[in-house]
Amino acid sequence: MSAGPAASDKSVRRAKITEFFAREGFIVIFLLWAVYLAIATDTFLTESNVLILLRQAAIFAIIGIGTTMVAILGELDISFGAVLALAGCLAAARIVDGAHPLVGLAIAIAVGAAIGLANGLLVNHLRIPSVVATLGMMGVVEGLAMMYTGGSSIFGDGLERLSFVARGEIIGVPTLVVIAFAMYVVAWMVTTRTRFGAHLYATGDNTEAAYRAGIPVQRLRLAVFVLAGALAGLGGLLQVARVGRAQATMGADALFPVLTAVILGGVSISGGRGRIVNTLIASVFLASITNGLILLGVATEVQRVVQGAVLVVAVSLDRLRK
């Protein structure tokens, strides 16, 4: 089996290094990129720029928690952008009409959870592959959002009451960032320290084994999709808070960054592996890519090319991880 201790040690070490790079290599690249930007531009490391970057990353990172959990389960949910839009529009309309922001929050989360439930039921009972089910749901939800808004933006003074979320600070740190950070702490604890997390990873790793061991796979899947939907709904409200209005199309820009962050962060789409915190780091990294390209004066078309390229690289890295 082994060709002697020396040979196997070296190959084990090499395998470990490759694995480390495939998994956490993006952090190294992130650091290099940050250093480069700090040198090449005099605006990257300024407080105001860093704050803009973090705020932008925060919303995608929060949505990313749900998408990451779905991926750990071995599924894929690409409807979060559409959910963000519909939930955001519905909540914004209520708030503009005079409802309290907390009511708006409840609506956004409820709408998201309901769509998540639909996704989960489709996958569980119709046995449609989740990427297809959520793709279809994405179309439906986007269409609903467009029907609801009639193509126009929802805005009004009522939305000013949300601005504290977007522009406020808690002991010097932007509120959005605090929220994101707090949610990641909870997500980390849930995935690594609770039975739910253990079942999540086990089911993603070997669904058959988990089922035979008595883990309620269907219920778990439903719960995760509902959670992902709820988080996307929350993201919708936060986005409305950030930009001050809601549009049916406002979810489209979320698709790339969230998916890329999840994959780049090392959560394999085949399931059962990955750390939630990596999605947070990857989200900040991705935000810094767009941010840096803008600061470097790169044209928007080229930015799109770069974003696409990063996704391709992320998926390739995922393959390397076996």
Partner 1 sequence: MDNTEAATGAAAGPVTAPTFEARGLWKHYGGVAAVRDVSIDFPAHTVTAIVGDNGAGKSTLIKMLCGAIQPDQGQLLINGEEVRFPTPAAARQAGIATVYQDLALADHRNVAENLFLGRELVHSFGPVKFLRRAEMRRDAIAALADLKIQVPDVRREARTLSGGQRQGVAIARAVHQGATILVMDEPMAALGLQEQGRVISLVERLADRGLTQLIVSHNLDHVFRLSTRIAVMRLGQLVAIRETAATDRSEILHLISGIDPAAPGEGASR
Residues within the interface to partner 1 (CB under 8 A): 1, 193-199, 201-202, 205-206, 208-210, 212-215, 272-273
Q: Which is nearer to partner 1, 15 or 132 (CB)?
A: 15
Instruction: Quote the least distance from Cβ 68 to partner 1, whole Å.
Output: 16
Q: Which is nearer to partner 1, 186 or 296 (CB)?
A: 186
Q: Which is nearer to partner 1, 245 or 273 (CB)?
A: 273
Instruction: Quote the least distance from Cβ 198 to partner 1, whole Å.
Output: 6
Q: Which is nearer to partner 1, 187 or 246 (CB)?
A: 187
3-state secondary structure of 76: coil
**CA dist., res. 288 & res. 54, Å (int):** 9
Instruction: Quote the least distance from Cβ 212 to partner 1, whole Å.
Output: 5
Instruction: Quote the least distance from Cβ 20 to partner 1, whole Å.
Output: 15
3-state secondary structure of 262: helix
Q: Tell me the sheet residues that pair with 169.
A: 174
User: How many Cβ atoms are within 10 Å of 286's Cβ, its own excluded?
Assistant: 28
Decide the pairing of beta strands 245-246 and 154-155: antiparallel
Instruction: Quote the least distance from Cβ 281 to partner 1, whole Å.
Output: 21
Element (H, E) at 155: strand 154-155
Q: Which is nearer to partner 1, 64 or 197 (CB)?
A: 197
Q: Which is nearer to partner 1, 217 or 287 (CB)?
A: 217
* Rama region for 227: left / alpha / beta (φ>0; ψ in -120 to 50; rest): alpha
Q: Is residue 274 within 8 Å of 77, Cβ to Cβ? A: no
**CA dist., res. 20 & res. 54, Å (int):** 26
**Close Cβ partners of 8 (under 8 Å, ≥ 6 residues apart):** 2
Instruction: Quote the least distance from Cβ 277 to partner 1, whole Å.
Output: 17
